[in-house]
Structure 1
């Protein structure tokens, strides 16, 4: 926690806000059985204004929806918030088969009787966790109806055949959504009204540098700058609709840097981490051209690490 807090203080996050979060943690201690649900983020979130908006809304009992294009740090922020508030976290990735039983739970036969095998929404509601709804705009109607009840101001879930669940005072729900993914749809007005919505800005050069140099402090500046340049060049082309967002992958960039550190050629590493994420031959050629302007075939791993 000290490392994360130090990073936030370096970004000049409001001390008054951090103090309120500390009081929240003290007011709602985590039960011993849920401590394994406290997940430390791999890296801190960079973006003071966005962090303050999200944390303030959560302190006031609101649920938040993080919207934006790919590689804007939505999941990183959600993970950081759960860790910062000291809450057990539960993740739900929405897809075509996600239904009410996936979220709330389903009947199961145990100890010679029918019992409810609880889902992540139920667990979060009872234990005061932070439940992260990933790609919430892929939720089908049955799942959306559960979200309506869960996120309602009455903070109560009615489980058919079982008792009503009153949401724990510390329970919060964080939704994330990308634009334009296959299978996504417009969120209905009733669902959106249950969230405070934060539009995530595109990754800036300064933020990208903080992330990559924070993870790879042993990197050589000249070589790492070329890797960062590839990402920023692709981001610009994606924002201008010249290419899709498939190769615009922060996880892929981090993975490429790891394999370069292990001795792989930078060009091969970037192909694996970013270029080959596009399966359209014409688009892949465009991406390859962008990469080659930054990373020639002759470039070796020793130029980056």
Structure 2
């Protein structure tokens, strides 16, 4: 890479730096483990339920390491070109535009593919050359082979609770990554997180967490997923803005979770137990 290209890449990288420290409360040794994995440039896979802090963890680690972070929200319509790039037409003809994966590889960013199983399997195979000793990305349409920057790392996440035969990673993909398991924090830590993130009293946060635990016990018994830490923060933020706690819980915790009348009644009863 030429000196001019290196300077341009450094300027682009600055745009993706995490400017302020994200709030993250470690629950075990995940921070130290990830730091070691980054030192080895090991591709990492984060596994856990919706809203348990996987994305926040990646953001926090990018800030802690001082590395740019490029996040991609994966979906079933995402193509390989959406990741690596494509030729675009403009007034001067055709011009190549890097996709987020290619850009991250060039500038030495952490590339985070969120909910990667949502993408088609024929799309996710493009990451394979970046996740072994080669650390390179072939741009077939452009006829270029991109050698990953020394600081580049690939991180993916998904929710094992939604795994199916149709939506799962191939073993050939899984076995290219180290993995960290995530789950909802312990009651005490989760209450601390909700109180800090929402700006509410600890006792109110404790009650919200207790409601969440009751809902999570219903997973597989009428609920596909329990109340996430993210939703608890939303409820706390509404309470912080002056919304009555029971109303905030209905809006942020119950209504987003289910449309089933009986299940809503059950969850509303749990809310009433703590907030009359």
Distance of aligned partners of 1:247 and 1:197 in 2 relative to their CA distance in 1, 3 Å threshold: closer
Alpha-carbon contact 1:247-1:275 (below 8 Å) kept: no
| Pick aligned residue for 2:180 from 186, 191, 198 | 198
Correspondence 1:33 to 2:12: yes
> How many positions carry a matched residue from both structures?
264
The Cα shift of 1:156 comes to 0.7
SS in 1 for 2:214: helix
Quick check: 2:190–2:229 contact (8 Å CA) kept in 1? no
Measured against aligned partners, the alpha-carbon deviations of 1:204-262 in whole angstroms (never above 9, x if no partner) come to 11221221232355x33433321222123223333xx3342545122221121111111
Q: Does 2:78 align with 1:98?
A: yes
8 Å contact kept, 2:51–2:231: no
2:226 paired with 1:223: no
In structure 1, distance between residues paired with 2:33 and 2:221: 32
Q: Summarize the Cα distance change of 1:33–1:97 in structure 2 as closer, same or farther, 3 Å threshold.
A: same
Partners in 2 of 1:273 and 1:73 — Cα distance?
Answer: 17
Task: Return the alpha-carbon distance in structure 2 between the equivalents of residues 127 and 234 of structure 1.
Answer: 43
**Which residue is 2:102 aligned to?**
122
Q: Which residue does the alignment assign to 1:54? A: 34
Output the aligned Cα RMSD. 2.1
Return the alpha-carbon distance in structure 1 between the equivalents of residues 114 and 144 of structure 2: 27
For residue 293 of structure 1, what is the aligned residue in structure 2? Answer: 273
Q: State the Cα distance separating 1:36 from its structure 2 match.
A: 2.2
Equivalent positions of 1:1-305 (< 5 A) are: 31-39=10-18, 40=20, 42-110=22-90, 112-160=92-140, 161-181=142-162, 185-216=167-198, 219-238=200-219, 241-246=220-225, 248-277=227-256, 278-296=258-276
Q: Compared with structure 1, are the counterparts of its residues 221 and 45 closer, same or farther at alpha carbon in structure 2 (3 Å cutoff)?
A: closer
Structure 1: which 5+ residue stretches go unaligned?
1-29, 297-305
- Structure 1 residues 42 and 128 mapped into 2: Cα distance closer, same or farther (>3 Å)? same
CA distance in 1, matches of 2:133, 2:195: 42
* Structure 1 residue 124: Cα displacement: 0.2
TM-score, normalised to structure 1's length? 0.80
CA distance in 1, matches of 2:123, 2:115: 12
Structure 2 unaligned runs (5+)?
1-8
Which whole-Å CA distance do the structure 1 matches of 2:162 and 2:260 have between them? 16
What is the TM-score of this pair, normalised by structure 2? 0.88
Separation in 1 of the partners of 2:131 and 2:202? 46
Distance 2:226 2:184 in 1: 15
